[in-house]
């Protein structure tokens, strides 16, 4: 499943760059994120709950920053499974930051998400819609928190 988008944050690039490295902040922006912690220099662990109608799932994800060129580009791999391991999620995402004038930052992102196991067999179109709406929720929350200066570090 390929997803992509771009959005603008009313904050300078460095601030945004720090924000995307801040697990506590991200945890508050990712819809359904129940906990997040840094577990290595470029490694994070998160528990995310997602629900579509009567179907719900809780994934434990390990997120690794696999490449970065501060403060422009970031490549992230996420991998996780349900507690019951009945399904597995992998995602590879790329994020690019650029100045958008007036102290604003443009964020361009693309993500290839793959869900296998019990949740991967049905409803592709719906999953994509759900992922898109979760992305949109994240963008709104992220922009608001960064713009209101909620960056921890």
Work out how close the CB of 55 gets to another protein at its nearest, in angstroms, rounded to a whole number.
5
- Sequence-ordered list of residues with C-beta below 8 angstroms from that of 89, at least 6 positions apart, any chain: 59, 61, 78, 79, 80, 81, 113, 114, 115
Contact with another protein (CB under 8 A) among 14, 24, 37, 55: 55
Interaction of residue 66 with another protein, rule CB under 8 A? no
**By CB under 8 A, which span of 25-33, 65-73, 84-92, 99-107 interacts with another protein?**
84-92
Positions 97 through 136 that interact with another protein (CB under 8 A) = 112, 114-126, 128-130, 133
Q: Which is nearer to another protein, 53 or 101 (CB)?
A: 53
| CB-CB contact of 152 with 22 (8 Å) | yes
The interface with another protein within residues 4-33 (CB under 8 A) comprises none
From first CA to last CA, the distance across the chain in angstroms is: 33
Nearest to 48 by CA among 57, 39, 56, 59: 59
């Amino acid at each position: 499943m390929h997803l992509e988008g771009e959005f603008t944050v009313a904050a300078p690039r460095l601030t945004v760059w720090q924000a995307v490295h801040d697990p506590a902040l991200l945890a508050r922006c990712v819809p359904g994120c129940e906990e997040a912690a840094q577990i290595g220099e470029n490694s994070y662990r998160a528990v995310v709950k997602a629900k579509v109608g009567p179907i719900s799932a809780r994934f434990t994800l390990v997120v690794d920053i696999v490449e970065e060129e501060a403060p422009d580009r970031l490549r992230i791999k996420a991998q996780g499974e349900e507690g019951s391991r009945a399904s597995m999620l992998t995602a590879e995402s790329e994020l690019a930051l650029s100045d958008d004038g007036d102290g604003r930052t443009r964020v361009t992102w693309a993500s290839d998400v793959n869900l296998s196991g019990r949740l991967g067999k049905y409803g592709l179109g719906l999953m994509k819609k759900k992922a898109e709406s979760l992305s949109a929720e994240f963008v709104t929350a992220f922009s608001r928190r960064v713009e209101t200066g909620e960056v921890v570090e």
